[in-house]
Structure 1
Amino acid sequence: MRFVPQFLSLALAAACGGLLPGCAAKKSDPKATAVADRVMQAMGGTDAWNNTRYLAWDFFHGQYQIWDKKTGDFHWEQDTLVANYNLNSKQGHVYSRGKDISATPAGQKVLDGLYPAWVNNSYWLDMPFKLQDPGVNLTYKGAGKTMDGAPADVLGMTFENVGVTPENRYEVLVNRATGLVDEWAYFPKATDAQPAFRRRWNEYARHGQLLLAAGRSEAAKPARFDFVAAAQTLPDGVMTSPVPVTKLK
């Protein structure tokens, strides 16, 4: 009954709600904002993002989750553990092989980690939709190229009083031809000169009204999310199931 968050040393910032073009913090410059607006449109648009109710994905083969964007309900699975939790109330239940262990130390450890897990795991899935969330500061760093050689607009991203680790910063590379995020680089501290990693955002596919990317490979290390899905409805009982559920398609 171990809870082993596969966070890659990362509990990301900017866990805000739905976003609107132009709602970035005042420190975001107009050129960066324009690039972010283009990303939003390329991935489906503000209305499509706000109207999509459920997102589901497997986080690097270790954690499967379903997030209800409307209610804040979060269904999470890893190994023999299942948790049903509400991100707003910070309340929930944890099960091991169908047995409620919420009151045990092991269960409480899972519950304590679920909000950071959602912050981290959801940001790895939906970061391009959240470039202009309140507290996110964007700067336009000029033209660049991805590690695959594609011409890109480079955005710098820092955070102000939001999220779990606001000391992080990122560089986000937006493909000039498609308007899609092709790559990001993660810096644990805003003052770091070199990133801790650089990963692709690729293998885009349409899920409902949204374009979502499954690929997160490093330069020579393949990595991807499986079971990425978006839905407006779910079968009865999914978000309260004490046992693993059938993966959404």
Structure 2
Amino acid sequence: MKKTNQFLVAFIAIITIATTGCAQKNHDEKEVSKIVGQIESAMGGRKAYDAIQTLEWNFVGRKLYWNKWTGDVRVENPKDNQVVLVNINTMKGQAFENGILITDTDKSAALLQRAKEWWINDSYWLVMPWKLKDTGVNLSYVKEDKLADGKDAIILQMTFDGVGVTPENKYWVYVEKDSKLIKQWAFYQNFNDENPAFLKPWSNYKEVAKVLFSYDRMNEKVGPTNVTANKDYEKNIFKKL
């Protein structure tokens, strides 16, 4: 009887721990979702962001044009005198080098893929806060900490399930508790890395089309610049050189 009681107590303890763990997990998920909602609201709101049709910006020497509604992207790469027009959903498009259309199918396909990868990387530096709820993104609460200026922040961790060019990466995003804005981010090359490959500010917010974007980041060599939204482009900017 004594052994039975001991077994029963142990079983109840295991169930209690498991139930508490599930409740805590659900609580954390709700809290994380609430934090993401606060971030989006502080930046102008999801409705305002979704209403932006086109974005244009510069990043590490490249110039990018992106139609968010159609998936059309134009990447100008002056370093190699290339212009690539690609739809990131269909992967159809054209690539030009030295002003000449590339007709070699293998080279053209490689440049279309390269342009998509450029877009994935370069747009992340601009719109990462709007991608926290993307399919394949795992978001979790890490802890509270201090920013470089001493202000309190909540750290969220982003990991990925088979999405992006490098799904083994992870990020920590630092959400300032007062403003509800992301003010810093850390990039880890691999999920199990203890130290980040970089820790950089996400600062200098400016309003574009009723939405706050962090760009022209002060004292940073890497970051998006010259951000423009909903510009009146030529009709074939995503179709012709």
Aligned 1:82-231 pairs, distance under 5 A: 82-103=83-104, 106-216=107-217, 221-231=220-230
DSSP-derived class of the 1:229 partner? strand
* Greater helix share, structure number: 2
Higher deviation after alignment, 104-113 or 148-157: 104-113
In structure 2, the partner of 1:21 is none
Task: Verify the 8 A CA contact 2:125 2:223 in the aligned structure 1.
Answer: no
Larger radius of gyration: 2
Using the alignment, how far apart are the partners of 2:216 and 2:172 within structure 1?
Answer: 17
CA shift digits 1:59-101 (9 cap, x unpaired): 12x1110111111100110112111111111111111232112
Higher deviation after alignment, 175-184 or 226-235: 226-235
Residues 27 and 130 (structure 1), Cα distance of their counterparts in 2 relative to 1, 3 Å cut? farther
Task: Verify the 8 A CA contact 1:27 1:138 in the aligned structure 2.
Answer: no
Using the alignment, how far apart are the partners of 2:74 and 2:28 within structure 1?
Answer: 34
Using the alignment, how far apart are the partners of 2:62 and 2:46 within structure 1?
Answer: 27
In structure 1, the partner of 2:19 is none
Using the alignment, how far apart are the partners of 1:101 and 1:159 within structure 2?
Answer: 34
Residues 163 and 224 (structure 1), Cα distance of their counterparts in 2 relative to 1, 3 Å cut? closer
In structure 1, the partner of 2:33 is 33
Using the alignment, how far apart are the partners of 1:207 and 1:241 within structure 2?
Answer: 27
User: Unaligned regions of 5+ residues in structure 2, if any?
Assistant: 1-25
Task: Verify the 8 A CA contact 1:157 1:169 in the aligned structure 2.
Answer: yes
In structure 2, the partner of 1:53 is 53
Over the residues paired in the alignment, what is the CA RMSD in angstroms? 2.1
Q: TM-score, normalised by structure 2?
A: 0.81
Using the alignment, how far apart are the partners of 1:29 and 1:102 within structure 2?
Answer: 50
Task: Verify the 8 A CA contact 2:29 2:140 in the aligned structure 1.
Answer: yes
Using the alignment, how far apart are the partners of 1:230 and 1:49 within structure 2?
Answer: 10
Residues 224 and 163 (structure 1), Cα distance of their counterparts in 2 relative to 1, 3 Å cut? closer
Aligned residues, how many?
214
In structure 2, the partner of 1:75 is 74
| Percent sequence identity over aligned pairs | 33
Residues 199 and 42 (structure 1), Cα distance of their counterparts in 2 relative to 1, 3 Å cut? same
Residues 42 and 113 (structure 1), Cα distance of their counterparts in 2 relative to 1, 3 Å cut? same
Using the alignment, how far apart are the partners of 1:158 and 1:39 within structure 2?
Answer: 18
Using the alignment, how far apart are the partners of 2:217 and 2:191 within structure 1?
Answer: 22
Task: Verify the 8 A CA contact 2:176 2:182 in the aligned structure 1.
Answer: yes
Using the alignment, how far apart are the partners of 2:138 and 2:105 within structure 1?
Answer: 41
Task: Verify the 8 A CA contact 1:44 1:209 in the aligned structure 2.
Answer: yes
Task: Verify the 8 A CA contact 1:206 1:212 in the aligned structure 2.
Answer: yes
Using the alignment, how far apart are the partners of 1:180 and 1:102 within structure 2?
Answer: 46
Using the alignment, how far apart are the partners of 1:176 and 1:233 within structure 2?
Answer: 37
In structure 1, the partner of 2:18 is none
Cα shift at 1:33: 1.6
CA shift digits 1:160-193 (9 cap, x unpaired): 2322222111110011121111010001111111
Using the alignment, how far apart are the partners of 1:235 and 1:112 within structure 2?
Answer: 25
Residues 224 and 135 (structure 1), Cα distance of their counterparts in 2 relative to 1, 3 Å cut? closer
Task: Verify the 8 A CA contact 1:201 1:213 in the aligned structure 2.
Answer: yes
